[in-house]
Chain A
Amino acid sequence: MHELPVINSILKVVLKHAVDNNVNKVIAVHLQVGELSDLEDKWMQQYFDHLAKGGIAEGARLKIERTPVVMKCSDCGDAYIADIKQDKALVCPECGSKKNSLISGREYFVKNLEAI
């Protein structure tokens, strides 16, 4: 539902770095998207295509890498990858505690650009 503002922000970051680096054309954008995001790759690409039309990022391909949900144990400090879609309790693999906080999994991160 919020594809438009998210993709618009991605495009802004892409264009800023493209201009700073005197790029003629952006070929691909490598994104890291947290698994908590519900945006689908296909729709992200379609919105990007629409917004990038007429600029140096037109036609660029989004290469989307999903980054896992990582929790930090509040008792022993261990960081672990969590499968939050399973309907069972999250338990720290190190100490068995159920107390935790989210470290990553909700990010939209522009890693790099391929450009000419």
Chain B
Amino acid sequence: MSDEIRLIEVKEDILADNTQIAKQLQENLRKEKTFLLNLMASPGAGKTSLVIQTIRNLKEKLRIGVMEADIDSMVDAEKVAKEGVAAIQIRTGGFCHMDATMVKSGLNAMDTDTLDLVILENVGNLVCPAEFETGAIKNAMILSVPEGDDKPLKYPLMFSVCHVLVINKTDFLELSDFDVEKCRERVLKINPDIRIFEVSCRTGEGIDKWVQWLYEEVKVL
């Protein structure tokens, strides 16, 4: 055997497997007419609060299920189940994001053909979930006012992969330096097609517009 160094061409995208599974999953969801929303945000931005507000506003019109992904604990699924919708908790066991295979097994555990909308509450961080496609029909993210308007500069990938940005905790605006216009500019720079909603899950302000958008998206699937 020769000891000569050989150059072996590979030319392979390492996320290709996950992307392929995600595409297949998305295709199946479209056939079943189940709208999967991948909701991403930092810990504490208000993911569970937005999920609960969304359920309260849409549960009479849509059959909703929720998939809660967390590194550990069941608290989110318990909170959501109290709202009277199907909820499952996925413990990622240290994984910082959900990938398409994990989402697929989560969906298998739910009766998705009886559901119009499944909300995937991804693991709380602005880094890893952006890298892995989940099969969702739309990606949404929350940025809350206390986190600051500079986050689009720090986590550009997350802001570039989302179809919707929900700016939450607008009731904190008067206590903070958060500049909504500056934030919009920074986000639109890397993602000109993104839809932006300003809401306060606590007071309910602005929730109607978000819910209306989501409802229409589910209906046209």
Chain A: residues with CB nearer than 8 A to chain B? 1-2, 5-6, 9-10, 12-14, 17-18, 21, 23-24, 27, 36-38, 74, 84-85, 87-90, 98-102, 106-116
Nearest-neighbor residue (CB-CB) of A91 within chain B: B189
Give min CB distance, A92 to chain B, whole Å: 11
Q: Which residues of chain B have C-beta atoms less than 8 A from A108's C-beta?
A: 13-15
B103 smallest CB distance to A (angstroms): 14
Q: Return the 3 tightest CB-CB contacts between A and B, nearest first.
A: A2-B128, A9-B14, A113-B8
Name A17's contact: one of B10, B127, B132 (CB within 8 Å). B10
Question: Is the Cβ of B10 less than 8 Å from the Cβ of A113?
Answer: yes
Shortest B127–chain A CB gap in Å is: 6
28 residue pairs from A and B, CB less than 8 Å apart: A2-B97, A2-B131, A2-B132, A5-B95, A5-B132, A9-B15, A9-B18, A10-B14, A17-B8, A17-B12, A21-B6, A36-B157, A85-B156, A89-B185, A98-B189, A100-B192, A101-B192, A107-B15, A108-B13, A109-B11, A110-B10, A110-B11, A111-B9, A111-B10, A112-B11, A113-B7, A114-B6, A116-B2
Minimum CB–CB distance from A65 to chain B (whole Å) comes to 13
Which of B8, B156, B190 is the one whose CB lies under 8 Å from A23?
Answer: B8
A90 touches B95 (CB 8 A): no
